[in-house]
Every structure is written in structure tokens, then in C-alpha cells.
């Protein structure tokens, strides 16, 4: 079935502001820059810790300027938006240096924004004082199935939402820099799912998280496999399950990795998959007593989470600059997701349900 009245992908309303990219690893080279190429966003310069790697990526995408260091890029007066794809322990310093440049109007940061909630709050306040936009790349909000699901929910087609779940059995590629942190799955994978539950249902009142180590991940860690349950003021109960073990994967073992989701309401059910583990489009099918006569309907699209969702991430920031309005993915909103992650870690450590009112997001 055609997508029809649904909008799985964003309309591009602005391409006016030159982008400077910091980082030349997989997420920048294969995802950000491919999305920008397809969308026609102007990328003026790139820099990374290794200039030769940045130069190689620049050749692929016809980027005119390769700076020797990220700091050199930040001083380039041609840059209006700085797009950072760097480890979270190094990212805050680059954000601060970007905010100090008079020609830089906005910064797009990766998540997690920082290693601690306190530092994230400090960055929020520094961006506010500088009068600059700070946006955080919560890109799952632009996954096509999540966008259409949001439109179905807001249209009332599922009635009052009762329960929701995200069920992940997939094996992430943990970047080497994560080995030196004391936080793993909840901060770096669950953050997608916890944020999307906020996007769909608002801010939860409480979270209960349990975890165990993942047998495949060899470096020391606590939160390998994680399970979180959330309660919302509306009565919605939600489950977020990140099984990064997903069973043995020796040669010849049949692959069944997946990410599936399901939302049940008083008037209908929607369910689907996230295509990331297989490099395929995400899917959605739903049945509503109000709009489909209880029959399953399946909107279709050809775009994918990676790279096409990243068009929406950059577009919302370009448009915010053009209109003088807050970005959809604002740092203020992202602090609430970071607070939810923090509450999850507190729940794990103290082996209890944690209310979000226990986690302060006000400046110290």
C-alpha cells in the first residue's frame, strides 16, 4: 500500500547554512555525509583526528576544504553549523570551542551529549549564554516507521494507548572508545529507545531497569543486556529490551537478529520492525477499528533509518536557524532523555524503581 496521507520522510525547507564536519569515522563517512549528499546540504569543510582519513572522506564527497585539526575547522569563517561525530569524552570541549566562535550559529552533537548529566546541563547553559543553537542527534525520531507511528497515534487511530514495547535482539558494533567508560548499553543503545518512547508518549514518571553483562563483550562492563519498564502519566506502560547478546553467532549459525516494536491501544494495534540490523527499510503495519475496519494496513516507503533519517536531523537545525525558532532536537529536550538514562542507571545500582522527580535537570 502506498504511504498516502503519511509522511515517512521530512520535507526539506532550508539548505542555506554551510556545514563543517568534525570526525571521519563510520557514522560521519557512511551516514551523515551520505544523507547530506542526497539532500543537497552544503558541506564546506571537514576535519578529524587524522587528516589523511578526513582527506579520503573529503574526496568521496567532494568537500572543498580539509582542515588539519578540528580546532582549525572551528576557526573557518565559512562555517555556520558544526556537525560533531566524536567520542562523548572529547565532544564537550569541541562544543565549547564551537560556541565561542562568532561565525558559528549552531552545533549538532552526537548522543550521549556528555558522559554525565551534570556536564550536559552545563553545556545547555553555556549554549544559552552564547545565544547559539545546540542540537543533539537523536536520529531515531526520524526513522520512517517511528514518524508514521507518531502520525497514527496523534490521529487517534489507535485510541488510548495502553502498552508499548521495543524488543531488540541485535549486536551493535561497540566503538573502541567505549571500553574506557563505565557505561555501555543504556547510554549508547537504549538511549535511542528511551528517547523514542518520550517522543511517542511524553515524559515518563518512573523507570525500573535491570541489567547483566553480555557474554560477547569482552571488556569490563555492567549494563550489557538491559531491560527497562516505564510508566507514563497517561497510564501507558512501556518496555525497552536491549539484548545485545542475541545468542551465539559462529559461522553457519542462522541469523535471526532483529528489532521489533508494538503499540497497543483501545482502538487498534500498530507493530513493525527497525531495519538497521539488516540495512533495510523499517516497516509498520496497523489495524484500527476506527480507520481500517480492523484490517491490517501496511504503508510502504523505500528510505531507511541509516542514512535517510539523518536528513531530518540536519533539516530541523537548518530550519531552526532560518526561522529563529528552537530546533526540534533541542538540547533542552535532550537533557530530559539524559535524565531518563541517569534514572535507569540509578535504578540498576539501587535495585529499585526510580521516579524522574528524583533526577534534577536544573542548573547547579
Residue pLDDT, tens place only, 158-188? 999 999 999 999 999 899 999 999 899 999 9
State the pLDDT at residue 250: 87
Has residue 1 got a pLDDT over 70? no
CATH number of the 19-139+311-327 domain: 3.40.50.720
State the pLDDT at residue 364: 64
Residue pLDDT, tens place only, 28-55? 999 999 999 999 999 999 999 999 999 9
Share of the chain above pLDDT 70, in %: 99
**Domain boundaries defined on the chain:** 19-139+311-327, 144-304+339-346
Has residue 338 got a pLDDT over 60? yes
Q: Which CATH number fits domain 144-304+339-346: 3.50.50.60, 3.30.360.10, 3.30.230.70, 3.10.580.10?
A: 3.30.360.10
State the pLDDT at residue 3: 53
Mean pLDDT value across the chain: 96
Residue pLDDT, tens place only, 95-153? 999 999 999 999 999 999 999 999 999 999 999 999 999 999 999 999 999 999 999 99
- Average pLDDT score over residue span 191-199: 98
Q: How much is the pTM?
A: 0.96
Residue pLDDT, tens place only, 206-261? 999 999 999 999 999 999 999 999 999 999 999 999 999 999 988 899 989 999 99
HEC secondary structure over the chain: CCCCCCCCCCCCCCCCCCEEEECCCHHHHHHHHHHHHHHCCCEEEEECCCHHHHHHHHHHHCCCEECCCHHHHHCCCCCCEEEECCCCCCHHHHHHHHHCCCCCCEEEECCCCCCCHHHHHHHHHHHHHHCCEEEECCHHHHCHHHHHHHHHHHCCCCCCEEEEEEEEECCCCCCHHHHHCCCCHHHHCHHHHHHHHHHHHCCCCEEEEEEECCCCCCCCCCCCEEEEEEECCCCCEEEEEEECCCCCCCCCCCCCCEEEEEEEECCEEEEEECCHHHCCCCEEEEEECCCCCCCCECCCCCCCCCCCHHHHHHHHHHHHHHHCCCCCCEHHHHHHHHHHHHHHHHHHHHCCCEEHHHCCCCCC
State the pLDDT at residue 363: 80
Amino acid at each position: 500500500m502506498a504511504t498516502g496521507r503519511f509522511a515517512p520522510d521530512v520535507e526539506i525547507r532550508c539548505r542555506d547554512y554551510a556545514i563543517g564536519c568534525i570526525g571521519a569515522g563510520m557514522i560521519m563517512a557512511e551516514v551523515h555525509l551520505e544523507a547530506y549528499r542526497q539532500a543537497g546540504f552544503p558541506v564546506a569543510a571537514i576535519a578529524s583526528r587524522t587528516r589523511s582519513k578526513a582527506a579520503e572522506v573529503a574526496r568521496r564527497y567532494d568537500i572543498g576544504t580539509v582542515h588539519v585539526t578540528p580546532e582549525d575547522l572551528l576557526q573557518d569563517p565559512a562555517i555556520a553549523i558544526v556537525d560533531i561525530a566524536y567520542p562523548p569524552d572529547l565532544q564537550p570541549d569541541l562544543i565549547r570551542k564551537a560556541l565561542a566562535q562568532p561565525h558559528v550559529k549552531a552545533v549538532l552533537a552526537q548522543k550521549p551529549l556528555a558522559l554525565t548529566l551534570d556536564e550536559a546541563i552545563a553545556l545547555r547553559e553555556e549554549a544559552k549564554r552564547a545565544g547559539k543553537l545546540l542540537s543533539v542527534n537523536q536520529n531515531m525520531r526520524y526513522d520512517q516507521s517511528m514518524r508514521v507511528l507518531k502520525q497514527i497515534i496523534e490521529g487517534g487511530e489507535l485510541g488510548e494507548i495502553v502498552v508499548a514495547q521495543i524488543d531488540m535482539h541485535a549486536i551493535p558494533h561497540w566503538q573502541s572508545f567505549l571500553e574506557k567508560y563505565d557505561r555501555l548499553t543504556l547510554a549508547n543503545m537504549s538511549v535511542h529507545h528511551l528517547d523514542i518512547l518520550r517522543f511517542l508518549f511524553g515524559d515518563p514518571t518512573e523507570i525500573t531497569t535491570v541489567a547483566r553483562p553480555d557474554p560477547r563483550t569482552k571488556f569490563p562492563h555492567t549494563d550489557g543486556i538491559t531491560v527497562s519498564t516505564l510508566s507514563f502519566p497517561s497510564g501507558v506502560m512501556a518496555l525497552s529490551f536491549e539484548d545485545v547478546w542475541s545468542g551465539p553467532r559462529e559461522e553457519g549459525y542462522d541469523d535471526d537478529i532483529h528489532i521489533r516494536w508494538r503499540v497497543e491501544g483501545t482502538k487498534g494495534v500498530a507493530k513493525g520492525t527497525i531495519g538497521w540490523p539488516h540495512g533495510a527499510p523499517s516497516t509498520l503495519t496497523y489495524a484500527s477499528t476506527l480507520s481500517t475496519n480492523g484490517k491490517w494496513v501496511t504503508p510502504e516507503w523505500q528510505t531507511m533509518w541509516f542514512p535517510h533519517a539523518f536528513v531530518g536531523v540536519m533539516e530541523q537545525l537548518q530550519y531552526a536557524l532560518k526561522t529563529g525558532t528552537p530546533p526540534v532536537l533541542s538540547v533542552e529536550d535532550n537533557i530530559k532523555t539524559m535524565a531518563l538514562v541517569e534514572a535507569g542507571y540509578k535504578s540498576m545500582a539501587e535495585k529499585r524503581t526510580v521516579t524522574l522527580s528524583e533526577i534534577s535537570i536544573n542548573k547547579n
